[in-house]
Amino acid sequence: MIRPHTAPQPTPAATLPLTLWGEVAEPLSLTVADLRAGWERRRAEVVFDCATAGPRHHAFAGPLLREVVAAVRPRFDPARRKERSRFPLAVSGGEGHHTVLSWAEIDADFGDAPVLLATRMDDREPDGAGPRLVVPSDRCGARYVSAVTGVRNGRHLLGGTPPSEA
């Protein structure tokens, strides 16, 4: 009997790890299951109001980004407020999407934004898409990164001189 050849199935993004790395005490890789089990689930009702599609209402649930990132102990002195204000978080996801947030945006002493690593959307599982970065304060969803695969933590160091104006 001849058996048809079947190509290997791609690994669903939900089983791929989300890696937290950079200037941290110890990098960490987490799955969606880890995010669901390890942190309190928060809920955010959001409205995307982009010019191309009109308003869209969604409900997301998952842990707060700041609580997940705190688990890897970012290398800044939490007592030094100015140091925290220049600590960016670069988020990478599926299909080449990336965005940057600042620690000050999510820090309870600064912006206190309830940014999520959502593991549910509209009370449904993400169909293997992995966690989604959700920035509830954004009117348009451009910083909503699907299938998050990495969060890099590190200081923003200004160096050199800006180019002179011609």
Tell me the torsion sign for CA atoms 117, 122, 128, 129. Answer: negative
13-153, CATH topology level: Sulfite Oxidase; Chain A, domain 2 (3.90.420)
- pLDDT digit string, tens, across residues 38-69: 999 999 999 988 777 788 899 999 999 999 99
pTM, two decimals, is 0.82
Domain locations in the chain? Answer: 13-153
Question: What pLDDT is recorded for position 82?
Answer: 83
Q: What's the pLDDT score for residue 164?
A: 52
- Dist. CA 14–CA 48, nearest whole Å: 24
Q: How far apart, in whole angstroms, are the C-alpha atoms of residue 85 and residue 101?
A: 11
Distance CA 89, CA 117 (A): 13
Q: What is the pLDDT of residues 74-129, one digit of tens each?
A: 998 878 888 888 889 999 998 889 999 999 999 999 999 999 999 999 988 866 67
CA dist list (Å): 117 to 43, 53, 75:
11, 24, 21
